[in-house]
Amino acid sequence: MAAAAVSRTLLPVARRRLWGCTRRLPVLGAAAQPLYFGGNRLRSTQAATQVVLNVPETQVTCLENGLRVASENSGLSTCTVGLWIDAGSRYENEKNNGTAHFLEHMAFKGTKKRSQLDLELEIENMGAHLNAYTSREQTVYYAKAFSKDLPRAVEILADIIQNSTLGEAEIERERGVILREMQEVETNLQEVVFDYLHATAYQNTALGRTILGPTENIKSINRKDLVDYITTHYKGPRIVLAAAGGVCHDELLELAKFHFGDSLCAHKGEIPALPPCRFTGSEIRVRDDKMPLAHLAIAVEAVGWAHPDTICLMVANTLIGNWDRSFGGGMNLSSKLAQLTCHGSLCHSFQSFNTSYTDTGLWGLYMVCEEATVADMLHVVQQEWMRLCTNVTESEVARAKNLLKTNMLLQLDGSTPICEDIGRQMLCYNRRIPIPELEARIDAVNAEMVREVCTKYIYDKSPAIAALGPIERLPDFNQICSNMRWIRD
């Protein structure tokens, strides 16, 4: 499906090449007028169009067991290949919360074919990198290697997710590692605040739990819990084998059939349904007057990946922007909130966020303030949110759209972020959205749409709030909710 969608937009493979050495391209003069050196205007325009469309095709194939194979061949000498699995902490319950993350740790501790030492030596001798991470909805295992080592990289990935020994000694050793990791996370106040934010926004649901899990679970998770999680969630239809860089799709497809074609069929039973999660406007306050700065996150319920309003909320998120005291020219930044913050010295830093899940999301702002300016900063933030709902201008929206497109394209710099983009989009949309289509959807947003969508999700809505530190002056929750309507000075 994704391959067909992309191939209609991009050039055929035979015509996909760089034109810099064979065409005469226009050069902009001082007055931004095109200066043509040789050739005619039509030939130069055609060449420029072909350069714009010079994007590798994303090819997608689905195996009989449901596993999807997706790749983009950019002809590099290196590649990134990985397994994106539709299983994270959201699919856990209170008793086994932390299992997905525990499994990520156990993946590199030896298989039936390789000991931990053998695995590490093989990866190092290849000059490769092997890594993994767990989120609330996805688990990812990926490798970066030379393109010629793609078969070995795929074989290693298949081995670690299908044949891990999960030895008792290794499990006990990893308990200590994860407990130390939890202590490190607790020193990262931004992560702590966002865990609190999820806990209050999605209280008593799966999204409200942390990815690492509580300490008591880490101490009690056993081999049976890990095996049960694998057999329940690591099924063909929930897995994407994605690759980018110097990758031949036909070769990758044959490797997938050989290593995954039969083994994943052994996992019987129905695929677990996505646990429903409801948003609750509420707050968590952890007051600690000994801390030098207050850390605060405020968010409203947003939408899932595939919702039509997602792009508009992304533009609104870019409009709010981010700011830090180390930035120069604060009064001259495009973000109105950054200007107000800099003028009044209201905070040390802030950053807007738009976190999307399958069927819900969080749209909001994280800030770090001094105790005396917490109330003023929150007031200014809510004023700016109300301005988005009522009188944001076309020029602001146009600037935000350009910045959003630039940021999205800059993130696709290298085989690893491209591979991650392919894997994530295949799980979220079941296809890779072509860049021209994504740009067209962003360009379709205007100021009226931003006002309508922001009014729908922000105006007069109860937010979720997580605050940590010296927050005595933080306004009452009812007062904060009342400020989610138009504030008149």
Contact 190, 142 (CB under 8 A): no
CA 368 to chain centre: 23
SS3 string of the chain? CHHHHHHCCCCCHHHCCCCCCCCCCCEECCCCCEECCCCCHHHHHHHHHHHHCCCCCEEEEECCCCCEEEEEECCCCEEEEEEEECCCHHHCCCCCCCHHHHHHHHCCCCECCCCHHHHHHHHHHHCCEEEEEECCCCEEEEEEEEHHHHHHHHHHHHHHHHCECCCHHHHHHHHHHHHHHHHHHHHCHHHHHHHHHHHHHCCCCHHHCCCCCCHHHHHHCCHHHHHHHHHHHCCHHHEEEEEEECCCHHHHHHHHHHHHCCHHHHCCCCCCCCCCCCCCCCEEEEECCCCCCEEEEEEEEECCCCCCCHHHHHHHHHHHCEEECCCCCHHHCCCHHHHHHHHHCCCCEEEEEEEECCCCEEEEEEEEECHHHHHHHHHHHHHHHHHHHHCCCHHHHHHHHHHHHHHHHHCCCCHHHHHHHHHHHHHHHCCCCCHHHHHHHHHCCCHHHHHHHHHHHCCCCCCEEEEEECCCCCCCHHHHHHCCCCCCC
Q: Is residue 104 flagged as an active site residue?
A: yes
Beta-bridge partner residues of 366: 297, 351
The pair of structure tokens assigned to 301 is 């319920």
> Residue 218's CB: how many other CB atoms inside 10 A?
22
Given 57, 72, 92, 104, the catalytic residue: 104
Contact 57, 6 (CB under 8 A): yes
Beta-bridge partner residues of 164: 111
Contact 353, 203 (CB under 8 A): no
Q: What is the CA radius of gyration of the chain?
A: 25
Contact 235, 271 (CB under 8 A): yes
N- to C-terminal Cα separation, the chain: 53
Identify which of 249, 239, 241, 240 has the alpha carbon closest to the alpha carbon of residue 57. Answer: 249
The catalytic site residues sit at: 104
